[in-house]
Amino acid sequence: MQPTSNANQRIARISAHLHPSNLRMEGRCSSLMGANCRAKGGAPGFKVAILGAAGGIGQPLAMLIKMNPLVSVLHLYDVVNTPGVTADISHMDTGAVVRGFLGQQQLEDALIGMDLVIIPAGVPRKPGMTRDDLFNINAGIVKTLCEAIAKCCPKAIVNVISNPVNSTVPIAAEVFKRAGTYDPKILLGVTMLDVVRANTFVAEVLGLDPRDVDVPVVGGHAGVTILPLLSQVKPPCAFTPKEVDYLTNRIQNGGTEVVEAKAGAGSATLSMAYAAVKFADACLRGLRGDAGIIQCAYVGSQVIELPFFASKVRLGRNGIEEIFPLGPLNEYERDGLEKAKKELAESIQKGISFVRK
């Protein structure tokens, strides 16, 4: 084969990954689907899609996922600005091949063959807004995205970030049930930011490195539904009632703290992206077969009487391998759990009713 021909093929291959729509127009998109969707020299690993990749969370999340050595293919989907984000991220010299998908007409192509789908899509919270204020917009977005997931990659692990998580995870579950693809082991609401905040704030009080602190956070992912179990902190320690009040309130209102500090310029995007990639990495290590991968997540559960609840889970090749009980709670935590359950029940029903109406 002539050198010019080889060069043209290499250029075409690179162009195909950056601009998959060009191949669709030429009627050759099947060559890039599934296992073939990797450039020559691409690293072995898992295929990850980010839905909402051009947003405030999506962009730093895409960058961090691109840096993960477990990822071989990274699909970036959004309704606007995906080509620019794709071009930018694709210049990073890590193993993952990046492809961008723009608009509803390319959503299904973005999902074919994926092992993990991360959903940060939706509008961010602004000053004065609660997570429920986001519901009417984000609920519809999550429903649409999950319908496509059910069709194109029903076996993929799904990480839901879009708020209000307390409602959007039940929405996703209802969509998957309708499609006949629901598997509670692979649908996880990402509450990792609550854990990240809890570890950080507790470490500040104790004068420790946050990486040496582990705070279980259970319940949900909004306000009083966020319940840090400070009695189960590792390393074990005792807090005064004043410290417990301070830490619990700050952990529950961490999102509001960032929204107010940004003064209309956004919500918790960078810390959320960090937490999301930390959780995604745990899911991927579980898929790889690593042992002892335990994180908190909001999942279909029987830990309490509610159908969805955040608690510690063990991740493995099939997604959730085990859901852990709450363990012993002190009086403060038992009172907090009762408050959390009331609000959580309403949020869950709101999500279920949205799909069933």
Can you tell me the distance from the alpha carbon of 147 to that of 77, in angstroms, rounded to the nearest whole number? 15
H-run or E-run covering 157: strand 157-160
| More reliable by pLDDT, 342 or 7 | 342
Mean pLDDT of 86-115: 97
pLDDT higher than threshold 90 for residue 351: yes
Tell me the pLDDT tens digit for each residue of 299-323. Answer: 999 999 999 999 999 999 999 999 9
Which tokens in the block code for residue 62? 């895409």
Q: Are 151 and 159 in contact (CB under 8 A)?
A: no
Q: Are 157 and 117 in contact (CB under 8 A)?
A: yes
Tell me the pLDDT tens digit for each residue of 264-310. Answer: 888 999 999 999 999 999 999 999 999 999 999 999 999 999 999 99
CA dist 178 → 156, 175, 182, 248 (Å): 17, 5, 8, 38
Q: Residue 130 class from Cβ within 10 Å (0-12 exposed, 13-18 middle, 19+ buried)?
A: middle
Three-class secondary structure assignment of 121-140: CCCCCCCCCCHHHHHHHHHH
CB atoms within 10 A of CB 78: 27
Mean pLDDT of 71-77: 98
Give the per-residue pLDDT at 11: 73
Give the per-residue pLDDT at 3: 63
pLDDT higher than threshold 60 for residue 334: yes
Reduced to 3 states (helix: H, G, I; strand: E, B; else coil), residue 37 is coil
Give the per-residue pLDDT at 36: 43
Can you tell me the distance from the alpha carbon of 295 to that of 37, in angstroms, rounded to the nearest whole number? 31
Reduced to 3 states (helix: H, G, I; strand: E, B; else coil), residue 74 is strand
Tell me the pLDDT tens digit for each residue of 109-141. Answer: 999 999 999 999 998 767 777 666 789 889 999
Of 17, 19, 75, 221, which one is the catalytic site residue?
Answer: 221
Give the per-residue pLDDT at 16: 63
Give the per-residue pLDDT at 128: 73
Tell me the pLDDT tens digit for each residue of 210-237. Answer: 999 999 999 999 999 999 999 999 999 9
The alpha carbons of the chain give a radius of gyration, in whole angstroms, of 21
Q: Where are the alpha helices (DSSP H) in the chain?
A: 3-18, 20-26, 58-66, 82-90, 107-111, 135-152, 165-179, 192-206, 241-252, 254-262, 270-288, 331-356
pLDDT higher than threshold 70 for residue 13: no
For CA atoms 267, 273, 274, 280, the dihedral sign is positive
Query: Is 221 an annotated catalytic residue?
Result: yes
Give the per-residue pLDDT at 123: 85
Q: Per-residue DSSP letters for 206-257? A: HT--GGG-B--EEE-SSGGGEEE-GGG-BS-----HHHHHHHHHHHHTHHHH
Partner residues linked to 3 by β-bridges? none
Q: Provide the residue type at 13 as one letter.
A: R
Which tokens in the block code for residue 84? 């620019």
Partner residues linked to 281 by β-bridges? none
Tell me the pLDDT tens digit for each residue of 23-55. Answer: 343 333 333 343 344 444 456 799 999 999 999
Tell me the pLDDT tens digit for each residue of 156-198. Answer: 999 999 999 999 999 999 999 999 999 999 999 999 999 999 9
Contacts of 312 (CB under 8 A, 6+ apart): 216, 218, 294, 295, 296, 323, 324
